[in-house]
């Protein structure tokens, strides 16, 4: 099975990114053929500073490698190193109705939050579909809020195949992440746009301070507490082992425990996971040529896949291109 996912370089990666997607990406590299791309074309809908874009793109590569992505098992590459993806996005736009794009929940939500309603933002699902279909991906790990985009990709593959009487584009399927919603320090979904994130690679001191600031209710220490409505417990549920989680559940319901204890344990669990990763990241940052070689090598491999698909797409459409000159 070929698994594909992408992540936008639009800001620092945070705990929600890790629990909601990256952890599963790392696990899948041992099970399937894994392709992960840094979605810098997509980030152009919000990032308009060239130097910042370059830095954010490099940061995502460092983050993934530090968190355990093995370039011998998975391919990590930049979206912009595969120009065929934009060609396929255009071709998909010629068989896709505007109404489908206007129904995208993500587009409506972002516009409601004040993000400029650019054509890039509206056409985001077209480019995302091209990202997936260009490699004949079988599975796409996503959170519940992204399932609609996979369904739209399925629709677009069908539109193309039906229009041109072929079976060139492969229908992908979503693979739901176990962690569907990761709460931020204010209880809302953890998101850069809400300013409620716990960044993965801040210093241990800054991270602990951030975690200790998680919003809780005013229930006295001696009273029982409801773990099902607690933001801190929600993070414990995503980070602690089942046996330990059962103990915390019991302590919540028994009373006599302050939220500060639970927050402290979240901070410990965070440091156990990301402390070593922070050290690996610092070391990788001293060798940018090594990181660049990983990206370039992977891009060369996946571009062969993209070129094969585009050859079949052009044949189906009747598009004629110049033959490569033999040297």
CATH number for position 80: 3.40.50.620
Starting at the edge strand that comes first in sequence, how are the strands of the sheet with 173-176 ordered?
A: 74-78, 33-38, 2-7, 139-142, 173-176
The per-residue pLDDT for 45 is 87
- Shared domain for 37 and 103, answered yes or no, is yes
Q: Which residue has the tokens 């990181």?
A: 291
CATH number for position 205: 1.10.240.10
The per-residue pLDDT for 324 is 65
Is 166 contained in some domain?
yes
- Shared domain for 25 and 174, answered yes or no, is yes
- Shared domain for 17 and 130, answered yes or no, is yes
- Shared domain for 41 and 144, answered yes or no, is yes
- Shared domain for 262 and 295, answered yes or no, is no
Burial class (CB in 10 A: 0-12, 13-18, 19+), 33: middle
- pTM for the whole thing? 0.89
Range of the domain at 227: 201-283
Is 253 contained in some domain?
yes
Provide block-wise average pLDDT over 10 residues at a time, the chain (327 residues): 93 91 91 96 92 96 97 97 97 93 74 72 90 97 83 96 97 81 91 90 96 95 95 94 96 95 97 96 97 98 97 96 66
Is 49 contained in some domain?
yes
Q: What angle (nearest 5°) sits at the alpha carbon of residue 159, between those of residues 94 and 107?
A: 70
- Shared domain for 268 and 307, answered yes or no, is no
The per-residue pLDDT for 241 is 95
Is 326 contained in some domain?
no
Contact 144, 176 (CB under 8 A): yes
- Shared domain for 211 and 279, answered yes or no, is yes
The per-residue pLDDT for 193 is 76
The per-residue pLDDT for 325 is 53
DSSP letter string, 138-160: SEEEE-GGGHHHHHHHHHHHHHH
The per-residue pLDDT for 285 is 97
Is 187 contained in some domain?
no
- Shared domain for 270 and 256, answered yes or no, is yes
Instruction: Encode burial over 157-180: b for 16+ CB neighbours within 10 A, e otherwise.
Output: bebbbeebeeebbebbebbebebe
Is 188 contained in some domain?
no
Show which residues are catalytic.
110, 189, 192
- Shared domain for 263 and 306, answered yes or no, is no
- Shared domain for 122 and 226, answered yes or no, is no
Query: How many domains does the structure of the chain reveal?
Result: 2
């Amino acid at each position: 099975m070929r698994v594909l996912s992408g992540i936008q370089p639009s800001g620092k990666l945070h705990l929600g990114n890790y629990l909601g997607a990256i952890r599963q990406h790392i696990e899948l590299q041992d099970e399937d053929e894994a392709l992960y791309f840094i979605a810098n074309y997509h980030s152009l809908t919000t990032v308009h500073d060239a130097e910042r874009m370059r830095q954010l793109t490099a940061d995502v590569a460092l983050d993934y490698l530090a968190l355990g992505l093995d370039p011998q098992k998975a391919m990590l590459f930049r979206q912009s190193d595969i120009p065929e993806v934009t060609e396929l996005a255009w071709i998909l736009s010629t068989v896709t109705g505007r109404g489908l794009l206007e129904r995208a929940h993500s587009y409506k939500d972002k516009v409601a939050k004040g993000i400029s309603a650019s054509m890039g933002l509206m056409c985001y699902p077209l480019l995302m579909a091209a990202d997936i279909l260009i490699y004949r991906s079988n599975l796409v790990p996503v959170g519940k809020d992204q399932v609609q985009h996979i369904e739209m990709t399925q629709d677009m593959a069908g539109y193309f195949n039906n229009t041109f009487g072929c079976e060139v584009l492969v229908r992908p399927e979503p693979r739901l992440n176990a962690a569907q919603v990761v709460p931020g320090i204010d209880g809302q979904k953890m998101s850069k746009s809400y300013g409620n994130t716990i960044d993965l690679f801040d210093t241990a001191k800054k991270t602990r301070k951030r975690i200790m600031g998680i919003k809780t209710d005013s229930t006295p220490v001696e009273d029982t507490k409801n773990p099902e409505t607690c933001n801190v417990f929600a993070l414990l549920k995503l980070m602690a082992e089942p046996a330990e989680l059962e103990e915390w559940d019991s302590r919540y319901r028994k009373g006599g425990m302050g939220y500060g204890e639970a927050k402290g344990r979240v901070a410990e669990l965070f440091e156990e996971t990301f402390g070593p990763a922070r050290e690996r990241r610092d070391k990788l940052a001293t060798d940018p040529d090594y990181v660049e070689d990983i990206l370039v090598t992977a891009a060369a491999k996946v571009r062969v896949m993209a070129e094969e698909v585009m050859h079949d797409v052009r044949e189906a459409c009747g598009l004629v291109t110049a033959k490569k000159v033999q040297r």
